[in-house]
Structure 1
Amino acid sequence: MSAPKKHVVFDVVGTCVSYDAIFDALDSRLGDRLRAECIKPKLLGYTWFEAAEREYTYLSISGRYIRFYDVFRSLFYRMLWMAGIEEPRKFATDDDLAYILEQFMNLDARPGVAECFQILRDAGFTCWAFTAGDTKRVRGYFTRNGIDMPIENFMSCDSLGIGKPAPESYRPLLTQFAGEEAWFAAAHMWDVSGAKSTGFKGAYCTVWEKEPCIDLFGTMDVMADSFPEMARKIVAASQETESKSA
């Protein structure tokens, strides 16, 4: 008798790969100008991502889905204005923006991601990627970092026309798994908790947000400070469930 199938779906951007290349590009291109205005490049980068995620989500909710990359690009000058720059289009140029956006192709894997996948696969799990980015670009992150993730194991919100964390975005994968053991793993607590509310088991890594804010999102089934630790906890939790049902 074959072993029951088990799955872990990973968020990618911000989870498996870091935003550091974008932060570094902001610093190298505009850092001195930003610091002269008492603006930390990394903080500007963080608020840019957060604002883009909000606008992306709001557009999706209102039935006007637009790719995250396009939303992110459009908000650049608005973010400079919100940071206190009186004339954003004199402060920075379209060439500056193009340089920063080019770094979207160069996001690096977070420490321990490859080991995490290997631990899970050795324990019989299939690893999947579910992203708000386009599949070609996001798969390139894995290829560039030497991490195996088959193209058939990708799902993008772009193909659904629905952004996370709408419940409708997670459900197609759950339907595909047809009642098999299914985990969702991310470094964004809003993402893990959203998936958990639709029926996934939730695995959260603190590598990005540090503070899980469980008063807002609740406690996930697995919480860890590194990806290998998270993988080992998923495997242990799965084995415990299997032993109880045996």
Structure 2
Amino acid sequence: MTLTVCFDALGTCFTLEQVTDAVDETFGDRLRAVGFGSKGFVMDWFHSCQRDYTYLSLSSPPPPPIAKLLTTSLPIHLSTALNISPSSLPSLENITDRLSSLVPAPTLPETFSHLHKKRAKLIIVTNGSKSTTEGYASQAGIKGMVEKVLSCDDIGLAKPHKEVYEAALKAVGEVERGREGERWFVAAHLWDLAAAKKAGFKTALVINDIPATALHGQDQHLDAWYELYGGRPDLVGSSLLELAQGITEDQARRLASV
């Protein structure tokens, strides 16, 4: 039985840690003076751009590249946060340049190595550009283990449009080479997994900001949150490696029962 695992890129495989550091170096004191933390500011900016990328995909497809949304909107977000004119800001290149070299999420290399050793086929499905994502993968040392990078830029629609997941299934079929097997989708966003589940994927959610004891126990707030997105994913973990191990253990159990 073949195993293919699709991964979201932005916020799942690759983090904005260095971007946050750059914002903090230049604007940290000023942001804190008006009640913002640098991480909170970056997350708000990033999630706003993800939202607008999808909204533009709905209203006037194809949407512009998400990198353009990020770089164009940064002065506006800083202007709003600091209550100053965008034109009064210094150069932001020290921040925007880091968008092209996002760092790997914790355990990413070990995750891909584990799955690769188990002969899983690995695909990255991203709102970002193909070339930039391939660059991230190369810098993280995982590019040689990735069968394909599927970019929404090439599809002409943003996630969570169903066409993106249909394209992902087509890519999975190509790497399976006629041997249909287990198909997983891994992300740090429930909305992404809800769409992937609807398309037929098994789903795995990584959450590294909530204590592992809460993730693996009973928590009414988490349960209510999952329910909004169609129910708890098949796997939930606090690291990508934990999910990868859970995926291969699930496959081993299935093979043993055949």
Q: State whether structure 2 residue 200 is matched by structure 1 residue 187.
A: no
Q: Which sits farther off after the overlay, 7-16 or 148-157?
A: 148-157
8 Å CA contact retained: 1:14, 1:208: no
Distance in structure 2 (CA, Å) of the matches to 1:137 and 1:117: 19
Q: What are structure 1's unaligned runs of at least 5 residues?
A: none
Distance in structure 2 (CA, Å) of the matches to 1:168 and 1:118: 29
Q: Please tell me the residue identity of whatever aligns with 1:167.
A: K
**How big is each residue's C-alpha offset from its partner over 1:147-202, in whole Å with a ceiling of 9 and x where there is no partner?**
23457511111111111111111111213434432111111222122211111110
Matches within 5 A, 1:127-146: 127-146=122-141
Distance in structure 2 (CA, Å) of the matches to 1:160 and 1:149: 23
Q: Please tell me the residue identity of whatever aligns with 2:204.
A: A
Aligned to 1:63: 60
Q: What are structure 2's unaligned runs of at least 5 residues?
A: 174-179, 216-221
User: Normalising to structure 1: TM-score of the pair?
Assistant: 0.89
CA RMSD, aligned part only? Answer: 2.0
**How big is each residue's C-alpha offset from its partner over 1:34-72, in whole Å with a ceiling of 9 and x where there is no partner?**
222232211111100111011000001123311111111
Matches within 5 A, 1:117-156: 117-149=112-144, 152-156=147-151
Q: Please tell me the residue identity of whatever aligns with 1:6.
A: L
Distance in structure 1 (CA, Å) of the matches to 2:252 and 2:89: 54
Q: Please tell me the residue identity of whatever aligns with 1:72.
A: L
With over 3 angstroms needed to count, the CA separation of the structure-2 counterparts of 1:49 and 1:63, relative to structure 1, is same
Aligned to 2:74: 76
Aligned to 2:159: 164
Q: Which sits farther off after the overlay, 23-32 or 186-195?
A: 186-195
TM superposition outliers: structure 1 runs of 4+ over 6 Å: none
Aligned-residue identity in percent? 29
Q: State whether structure 2 residue 217 is matched by structure 1 residue 216.
A: no
With over 3 angstroms needed to count, the CA separation of the structure-2 counterparts of 1:152 and 1:239, relative to structure 1, is closer
Aligned to 1:232: 245
SS in 2 for 1:33: helix
8 Å CA contact retained: 2:123, 2:146: no
User: Normalising to structure 2: TM-score of the pair?
Assistant: 0.85
Aligned residue pair count: 239
8 Å CA contact retained: 1:139, 1:149: no
Distance in structure 1 (CA, Å) of the matches to 2:67 and 2:52: 12
SS in 2 for 1:75: helix
Distance in structure 1 (CA, Å) of the matches to 2:210 and 2:41: 16
Distance in structure 1 (CA, Å) of the matches to 2:7 and 2:162: 16
**How big is each residue's C-alpha offset from its partner over 1:121-170, in whole Å with a ceiling of 9 and x where there is no partner?**
22221111111111111111121122234575111111111111111111
With over 3 angstroms needed to count, the CA separation of the structure-2 counterparts of 1:177 and 1:135, relative to structure 1, is closer
SS in 1 for 2:51: helix
Aligned to 1:15: 12
Q: Please tell me the residue identity of whatever aligns with 1:216.
A: L
With over 3 angstroms needed to count, the CA separation of the structure-2 counterparts of 1:133 and 1:209, relative to structure 1, is farther
8 Å CA contact retained: 2:76, 2:86: no
With over 3 angstroms needed to count, the CA separation of the structure-2 counterparts of 1:69 and 1:34, relative to structure 1, is same
Distance in structure 2 (CA, Å) of the matches to 1:131 and 1:147: 16
Q: Please tell me the residue identity of whatever aligns with 1:12.
A: A
